[in-house]
Structure 1
Amino acid sequence: MKKTLIALAAFAATGAAVAQSSVTLYGIADVVLHKDKKASARLTSGGVSSSRWGIKGTEDLGGGLKAGFLFEQKIALDNGHAGDDDDAGSGFNRQTYLSLAGGFGEVRFGKIWSAYDDVGGATDAAFNANVLGPVNLIFYSQYAYTANPNNGIYYVTPSFSGFSAAISTNLREGVPNSRVSAFNVQYENGPLYVALGYQDDELAGDRGDKFTRLGASYDIGVAKLLGTYGRAKNADVDEWSIGADVPVASNVVLSVGYAQSKQSGAKAERGWSLAAAYALSKRTTAYAGYFDANNAAVTGRAGAPDSRFGVGLKHTF
């Protein structure tokens, strides 16, 4: 018995020496003051990025393996709610997962952003701003797809010479029409970035939908050129955007972009944005922007503001 206890103690001590673990508290606090034409001024949480906080951790299991976890919750800075107004108090509503990573890549289990969502926004103008960006305010597919389904399984490969890929799905668990399956392929090397994403979404709309997105950016030095194409098959919607990020100083970037969304048989919904970001430090950025839309976007499916001006502050920790 004594020998057994000694052996177990030695094993535990060895395991403690090998296993290296860390836990990190992180988040984003982002708030914008904006004014739409013929409307009162509003203070909105998440002008560029959704405000959030989270806890993540990893443990080195040895042999190149790591276990990890992540809990992430959206926060509304304007009213203190956890999550959006329609899911206030819903807990860790953005992501909750357990993962295992190694030379094979990484696999995650839980509530996870889909592989399609991974490439959304990567090549959008106006910093992909929630409140000021032309894509977020015009694109149908930006809102219609299911971004982070429950009961998810996700796998991402390592990067091979700039190429990487990911695939995700989820379990229905007895709930009909609740499967969300997606994949992406990305290439990033030097100034060039290209990404393709696809999602078959049974939860989208009344009939479900199939979404495709292709995005690319190229840094020519004086500016980074941006372009995105998207399609929602069942809704019969085609979308595209172009833009450019222009660094005018070491800590100032201007971004301009134009987006269009058109459903078959309907008028094209269009909008454009001009935005500026001023880095006050590595963690804090002040920003401002202007958005303008055509009448079809204001009165149609997008429900975009006629015009909008906003100024905001974003801090990461």
Structure 2
Amino acid sequence: MSLHVNPVDFGFLVQHIRREEGWRRIMCQRRINLAWLGAVVALLSTHTDAAVALYGRIDTDLEIQKGAGGTATQLVDDASRWGIRGSEELSGSLRTAFGLEQGFAVDSGMLLNPAFRHAFVGLSGKLGAIALGRLDSGTIVGSPIYSQVVRNVSFLFHDAGATAFGNKVLNGRNRVSNAIGYMTPDVSGFRARFRLNLAGPEQASGSAISPIRQEDDFRQFDSGIDYTSGKFSAGIGYARDTKAGGLVANDFRDKIQMVASYHFTIADVYGVYGRDRYVSTTSTRSRVPYWLLGCMIPMGVHSATLNYMERAVQGDPLGKLRKIQAGYGYSLSKRTTLYAFFDREDSNSHKPGDTVTTYGAGVQHRF
């Protein structure tokens, strides 16, 4: 008697056996990979003091802007970001640290350009901290000028969007690439920060050939000293630019800034005064003074902030930028805040019809 096997059934059986063997190999490999990953994690946690943290902020508001051109309603992102930071103990008090922070727009889902707000690696210990890379106030060394503002002044929940003034009014020089930064340890309430960044090359206008061809042909140096004693805090900063071939018309030359704040029982009161200098022309300013006064009133889960500021317009010897803003915040938790704000900005008092008034309300969540 002969046994007849259908070729189709036999082929199906072979394919089935092969699939089962393939799945067994895949599952076995996955178990090996998981075991290897678990061993690496266990080894790191056992033999090193390494730590990596994920953090971020999502912040957006709905606002109405009114100006000479009419009225506009829009959804605006307010410097949302996410990042990772890490450190590892090397020996004694010496630690290595790194950080990557990326900005994105909540309203559109687009990444910002450049992709990273900061990207650095550095060391910290008893002698202070040093960092290299793209640096800002969020790194282990901070930002000499801008960190003084952050430490003493209250923004309307963020330094972004319609209420931003850190760069527009104060010229905070916060975020720079190709930089080396250093921060001293705290000594009796005093702390100093220094930063050098190589800002070249740059493009010349027209057919001219720029002398700024290499990174170190354009150097920016920033420094700041901070002091804190109890409820009082203050700082003074200095910054300057140099270029191969010399500065040209309307280039920034240097600045000096002073900031102070005091924490009263019912309110935090603060002020900033500074002076920027530029290479002037017959129709532009050499000295550009600016100042800000404000207060923040904490009331449990509620808070209220009021700021007024002015800055001379460098391109108009008769003009001043004037800005007043007020905001209210309600904390739903330690990480989530609802807020509403009003901002009125006259970008040049000598030029009619350029005042913009903004009303807005939004939510900020930190993780």
Which category describes the TM-score, using the shorter chain as reference length?
0.7 to 0.9
Q: What is the one-letter code of the residue matched to 1:153?
A: I
Asked if 1:240 corresponds to 2:317, the answer is: no
Change (3 A) 1:176 1:299: farther
Which of 159, 163, 170 aligns to 1:133? It is 163
- Which residue pairs with 1:221 in the alignment? 265
Which has the larger displacement, 165-174 or 109-118? 165-174
Which of 130, 147, 151 aligns to 1:107? It is 130
- Which residue pairs with 2:108 in the alignment? 79
- Which residue pairs with 2:228 in the alignment? 188
Q: How does 1:1-317 map to 2 (within 5 A)?
A: 19-37=48-66, 38-46=70-78, 50-83=79-112, 87=113, 90-92=114-116, 94-113=117-136, 114-127=143-156, 129-133=159-163, 135-136=165-166, 139=169, 141-142=171-172, 145=173, 147-171=174-198, 174-175=214-215, 177-202=217-242, 207-234=251-278, 235-247=286-298, 249-263=299-313, 265-294=317-346, 296-297=348-349, 299=351, 305-317=355-367
Secondary structure of the structure 1 residue equivalent to 2:58: strand
Task: Determine the C-alpha separation between the residues in 1 that align with 2:361 and 2:304.
Answer: 14
Deviation at 1:188, TM superposition (A): 1.7
8 Å CA contact retained: 1:245, 1:256: yes
- Which residue pairs with 1:6 in the alignment? none
Change (3 A) 1:133 1:213: farther
Task: Determine the C-alpha separation between the residues in 1 that align with 2:124 and 2:331.
Answer: 34
8 Å CA contact retained: 2:347, 2:355: no
Q: What is the one-letter code of the residue matched to 1:307?
A: T
Secondary structure of the structure 2 residue equivalent to 1:120: helix
8 Å CA contact retained: 2:237, 2:256: yes
Change (3 A) 1:176 1:163: closer
Task: Determine the C-alpha separation between the residues in 1 that align with 2:135 and 2:351.
Answer: 34
- Which residue pairs with 1:7 in the alignment? none
Secondary structure of the structure 1 residue equivalent to 2:146: helix
8 Å CA contact retained: 1:131, 1:137: no
Describe the superposition over 1:74-99 as per-residue Cα deviations: whole angstroms up to 9, x where unpaired. 1111111111xxx2xx332x111111
- Which residue pairs with 1:4 in the alignment? none
Q: What is the one-letter code of the residue matched to 2:229?
A: N
Q: What is the one-letter code of the residue matched to 1:209?
A: R
Q: Which ranges of structure 1 fall in alignment gaps of 5 or more residues?
A: 1-13
Change (3 A) 1:172 1:246: closer
Task: Determine the C-alpha separation between the residues in 2 that align with 1:136 and 1:163.
Answer: 23
Task: Determine the C-alpha separation between the residues in 2 that align with 1:161 and 1:298.
Answer: 46
Which has the larger displacement, 182-191 or 118-127? 118-127
Secondary structure of the structure 2 residue equivalent to 1:221: coil
Q: What is the one-letter code of the residue matched to 1:81?
A: M
Secondary structure of the structure 2 residue equivalent to 1:61: strand
Change (3 A) 1:20 1:137: closer
Change (3 A) 1:97 1:298: farther
Select the structure of larger CA radius of gyration: 2
8 Å CA contact retained: 2:273, 2:290: yes
TM-score (norm. length: structure 2):
0.72
Task: Determine the C-alpha separation between the residues in 2 that align with 1:221 and 1:209.
Answer: 40
Task: Determine the C-alpha separation between the residues in 2 that align with 1:131 and 1:304.
Answer: 17
Secondary structure of the structure 1 residue equivalent to 2:238: strand
Instruction: Identify which of structures 1 and 2 has the higher relative contact order when contacts are C-alpha pairs closer than 8 Å and 6+ apart.
Output: 1
Percent identity among equivalent residues? 26
Change (3 A) 1:62 1:15: farther
Structure 1 runs (4+) greater than 4 angstroms displaced: 14-18, 202-206, 297-300
Q: Which ranges of structure 2 fall in alignment gaps of 5 or more residues?
A: 1-42, 137-142, 201-213, 279-285
Deviation at 1:298, TM superposition (A): 9.2
Task: Determine the C-alpha separation between the residues in 2 that align with 1:220 and 1:269.
Answer: 30
Deviation at 1:140, TM superposition (A): 5.9
Deviation at 1:278, TM superposition (A): 0.9
CA-based RMSD of the aligned residues comes to: 2.8
- Aligned pair count? 290
